[in-house]
Chain A
Amino acid sequence: MTEPRAALNLIGKPFRRVDGRAKVTGQTRFADDLTFPRMCFMRLHRSTVPHARIVEIHLEKAEKMPGVLGFLTGEDLPVSFGILPMSRDEHGLAVGKVRYVGDPVVAVAALTEEQAEAAARAVEIEYEPLATISSVEEALANPEPRIHEHGSGGNLHRKKSMIFGDLEQGFEEADVIFEDTLFYGGNTHLAMEQHASVAVPEDDERVTLYSSTQIPHYVHRALARVLELPASRVRVVACPNGGGFGGKSDIMNHEIVTAKMALVLGRPVKISLTREEVFYCHRGRHPMLMHLRTGFGKDGSLKAQHLKTALDGGAYSSYGVASTLYAGALQTATYELPRYRFDTLRAFTNKPPCGPKRGHGTPQPRFGYEVHLDKAAHALGIDPADLRLRNLAPAGLITANWLQLSSVGLGRCIEAVVEGSGWRRRYGKLPHGRGLGLACGAYICGVGLPLYRGEMPHSGVQLKLDRSGGVAVFCGQAEIGQGSDSVLAAIVAEVLGIELADIRLVVADTDLTPVEFGSYASRVTVMMGNAAYDGAQRARELIATAVAERFEVDSERLVFAESRVFDAEDPEKGLSFAAAVAIAETRFGTLGTTGSYRPPTPPGRFQGSGVGPSPTYSYSAAVIEVEVDPATGLFDVEHVWIAHDIGRCINPALVVGQVEGSVYMGLGEVMMEEQAFRRLPPRLSGALVHKTPSLLEYKSPTFRDVPPVTTYLIEEPDPAGPFGAKEVGQGPLLPIPPAAANAVFDAVGVRVDQVPIHPHMILRALEDKARGKEGRFGPAAFPDVDFPRNLIVPTPAEGGDGTALNDPRSQKQAGRQAAKEKPSAASAPV
């Protein structure tokens, strides 16, 4: 869908974001800014213990508190929910047992927020404590008591192994084999807006939920299910999010409970979470242990890789089934890896559930891979930049694990940061204490399969046009700060040749706007953008047909630009856009068009092939310069050079902003951010608690902590994206943590194989080195786990057809289909 038109009017030039004025004047209405007549307030009583059976809930004291209007407990919401249909293991309020400190148990509504808070505190719960699981290792060692009754047995949520190609052959062809074990710590989104929701009952048995969510469509589906109402009676409006980063891309307990409470009380109900509660909602970065074993030729060529990952999932499934697969799915998108094995597991632990944070499941293995490559480059005596350039995945490649790549701008990204940072003359040559590190990354631009089965569009847009010349665009997408509204408006304005000010947006309202899966997986620009392009193109065709008839010219000759429609060969011959729409309205009646988008069917057809496919992939490369004080281990990032393959910028100013924001968040992760837990001593209940559930204690970078960033945007329009555009919201985070770790090595010659890198780790590694050892700080070993049921998938190069040799399900399907003589179906989502 690359636009052949020579000149673009709007796209590619910086413009003020369409919601910019509202955001700087205080007019933007976030969920907590809404009020309704008779609105009351809700608070949640959350579990104070990490794992226990609920023996009894005592509401007697709370019921007597002033202002109290009503209570809900787990009994009132018996239907479970979950973002992925195969793992609906959450309830609005705990049913039978609690699984982490912060698990909601009782909801209280009262006339004021303070009254609701006081009543929630007066709720008393008798628990029968159960043993707690705090880590993957504990989960493996203690199958009982189980946190959930579902999963891969014991306290394992998921265990999976996939072999792409003849791995033994691959390792045999290798001249050298390297192995590394690394760890990436958990961290959280920390969006500045605390989640809030307001539910308003309407008519009989209808309810509207206004919420700070990235995924109004999925919240809509979950509410209908849990409230046992037809989906047509439930309306979800996503308010502009005060930051998301994935933290509002799951269905949250409080959303479900607020809607239920409003229906019970028959009046609007608001909840606004405290910052502490936001830490309990979490769904953030999984702590991940990784082991890589990779075979290389002497020339640095990749031969085979075996990656093992172990994810600490927290107390619920969330997106876990997908996260578990993302922990390995994109390893093949950057460098051509002919054979690949991926073993992965996710454990349940008694901590807030992990989920998708910027980069969903991929920054951890990317960190592992890029540090591993840096070490290999050293051992092989090859410059780390050259090692990567030699192995670059070519455009259009189908990878060993069956990802269909589109354009690949990674080579140009590497060259830009290498040039910009002076890498060739400075790397390995800076004085002790100074160092440079390089790393890369790739990210999806949307997902190949929906979160639930079906062949319906993933993205939909409607346009309403009339003689005013104004165009109203309806779309279910949620603006979370990334600029979704601006992308939507710009694409429509570009196609129709009108100004942004002539476009009105109605977004993220399940009653008014067509289905859009939401703002996750970096899908907005490509998937919503293509739907917007499609809808606008259809409107353009209607108008062009009517105008061409009137002017008796070929409609192909008409140009839409500068709010006019005119003959390319005789620009005087034309009329204003409003007049052109009037002609079309006369010719066709009331005007409206729709646009939709469904991604191409991915080539992989094995179980698990639903995670990884994307219409295209974005690429990033970064060089980071650090200064390390060998006496204290303190390190500072002095400069970041980052190049991002954006395909084409819709609005370069916003693209630069997304790159800078991603770099910042990546630096936060590698330098300080940590979602840490500890067991209280037995005299204090022995509970497993969050160490730092406050903005003060959870360290994140401030204005004074961010280094200068030089951003290069690599534009190479991609046929899969609208006007050639790709994602930028998440990808640029990926190279940051490994580039920093690699720079620390260049500075002081020691490795910290984990994130975040704390000064004491550098010191320990330096001491280790001084004693003549390896000079490394990091995890010792990957736990000894059996991954028995390997899925074996021949690679494209081996003549595979995208199916597994031994996929029980596809064999079953094949059998069924052979019986029915039907063509084979695509594999299931995730």
Chain B
Amino acid sequence: MTHAMTTLTLRVNGEDHTVAFPAHHTLLEVLRERCGLTGTKHGCELGECGTCTVLVDGRAVLSCLMLAVETEDRSIETVEGLMDGNRLHPLQAAFADLGAAQCGYCTPGVLMTSKALLEADGDPSEAEIREALSGNLCRCTGYHKIVQAVLWAAARLRGEDSAPSAEVFYGSPPPGQEASSSSSSEAHDDD
């Protein structure tokens, strides 16, 4: 069982990676195992969970379902390419500050799907965010913090100086009881 090897140059996050790999390997496998970019995760390798999402020419794709050979001459973006120098992308900062990444395993895929969404529509509604992300499973967050983080990042990318409401950080003040320490958010809004 020896497989024909292909040698190919992939353009990942603007950098060229010339790699040799069995021709039937998926983009997921080649990114993780040949390019050393392990930021992209997998939850099924069958196209069922969205964990492996990366962008190919700006479109969110499941890297476990795409052959690496299909990506020649196309631009691939992964979670490793989101930062600007040492500065977090607003999506990354919002996810970190809200706890929208709990275990963080679904996070790279969710971030990439969100990035594709925000590039297509800078002001999505909550329903549109849920629709766009409905192929990404997350077992930790119940999805709420993710939606709030995407809304926050979208606002910041539009140049608005907004922050999520205090409820997002503290929960709602228990009705009929003296409120807990719900001063407004003090979370840092950048990296």
Q: Could you tell me which A residues sit within 8 Å of B by CB distance?
A: 12-17, 19-30, 32-33, 65-67, 114-115, 118, 189-194, 240-245, 274-275, 412, 415-416, 419-420, 480-483, 643, 649, 652-657, 659-665, 694-696, 700, 702-704, 706, 709-715
Contact = CB atoms under 8 A, between A and B. Distances in A.
B78 interface: yes
B139 interface: yes
Given A114-B1, A194-B43, A20 B136 contact: no
B105 A243 contact: yes
Given A26-B79, A660-B141, A703-B133, A14 B187 contact: yes
B96 A192 contact: no
A420 B172 contact: yes
Contact of A25 (B88, B105, B171, B185): B88
Contacts of B1: 65-67, 114-115, 118
Contacts of A194: 42-44
A242 B110 CA distance: 14
B103 A191 contact: yes
A500 B88 CA distance: 19
Interface in B80-118: 80, 82-83, 88, 91-93, 95-108, 111
11 contacts: A14-B97, A23-B96, A24-B111, A25-B82, A25-B88, A30-B105, A192-B140, A241-B103, A419-B176, A653-B99, A695-B46
Contacts of B91: 24
B180 A275 contact: no
B134 A702 contact: yes
B140 A661 contact: yes
Interface residues of B, number: 78
A14 B43 CA distance: 30
B45 A275 contact: yes
B38 A26 contact: yes
Contact of A713 (B131, B133, B136, B171): B171
A752 B172 CA distance: 31
A480 B103 contact: yes
A733 B37 CA distance: 36
Contacts of B173: 712
Nearest to B109: A192
Contacts of B82: 24-25
Nearest to A421: B175
A713 B157 CA distance: 31
B2 A66 contact: yes
By Cβ-Cβ distance, the 10 closest A-B pairs, closest first, are: A26-B39, A481-B103, A23-B104, A242-B105, A664-B142, A20-B96, A33-B38, A419-B175, A660-B142, A24-B92
B170 A652 contact: yes
B92 A715 contact: no
Given A12-B181, A240-B103, A275-B45, A415 B176 contact: yes
Nearest to A656: B171
A420 B175 contact: yes
A193 B41 contact: yes
B80 A412 contact: no
A26 B78 contact: yes
A119 B143 CA distance: 40
B144 interface: yes
A704 B168 contact: no
Given A114-B3, A481-B105, 14 more contacts: A14-B186, A16-B188, A22-B104, A23-B104, A191-B103, A194-B42, A242-B41, A242-B104, A274-B45, A275-B43, A481-B102, A657-B98, A694-B44, A711-B171
Contacts of A20: 95-97, 99, 101
Contact of B134 (A25, A416, A661, A703): A703
A702 B129 CA distance: 12
Contact of A703 (B83, B147, B180, B187): B147
A363 B101 CA distance: 26
Nearest to A19: B104
Contacts of B3: 114
A415 to B, nearest CB: 6
Given A419-B176, A656-B171, A696-B46, A240 B104 contact: yes
B185 A29 contact: no
B99 A700 contact: no
A241 B143 CA distance: 19
Contacts of A14: 97, 169-170, 185-187
